[in-house]
Amino acid sequence: MNIQKIIEQLPYSEPFIFVDELLSVSKESITGTYTFKNDLFFYEGHFKNNPVTPGVILTECMAQIGLVCFGVYILKEENISEKSTFALSSTEIDFYLPVYPGEKVFVISEKIYFRFQKLKCKVKMLNAKDEVVAKGTISGMILKRE
């Protein structure tokens, strides 16, 4: 499956899409990138006069690339309906470094298993210096879209 097609099939749009580009994908893993633009809406309040990317947004970015983009590919490979998507069912993420406005991050997700409609992945986020920003596990269940 064409890598660009995966992004086109995502159910997100601005201001809540946190995927710029996918670099590689296979049945075992996916790698993608996102650059946190300076003018993103949440920087105004998180924090007062001190913009730092919220952990929930880092988690969202990890889930959009590491679970949902990955899931689009896996569903296609397994010939499961394009009308299906993955709904987040659980996250367990540790954070190590702050991500400031303008930073580019890389998300790498490795499949732990895909069984009984559940996809569980080991996901990590690296910054442009190749330092680990966050890592943990993210799981989702297949959900049929109407």
Partner 1 sequence: MNSEEIYRLLEPIIKTYLPEDVSAKEINRDSDLTRELNINSAHLVDIILDIEDEFNIEFKNEDMESLRNVNDAISLIQQKISA
Gap between the Cα atoms of 114 and 103, Å rounded: 32
Nearer to partner 1, 115 or 129 (CB): 115
Nearer to partner 1, 43 or 86 (CB): 86
Which contiguous run of DSSP H or E holds residue 34? Answer: strand 29-35
Rounded to the nearest whole angstrom, what is the least distance from the CB of residue 140 to partner 1 in the complex? 8
- Whether 78 is catalytic is no
Rounded to the nearest whole angstrom, what is the least distance from the CB of residue 119 to partner 1 in the complex? 10
> Given the rule CB under 8 A, which residues bind partner 1?
89-90, 113, 115-118, 139-141
Gap between the Cα atoms of 145 and 94, Å rounded: 31
Task: Give me the active site residues, please.
Answer: 46
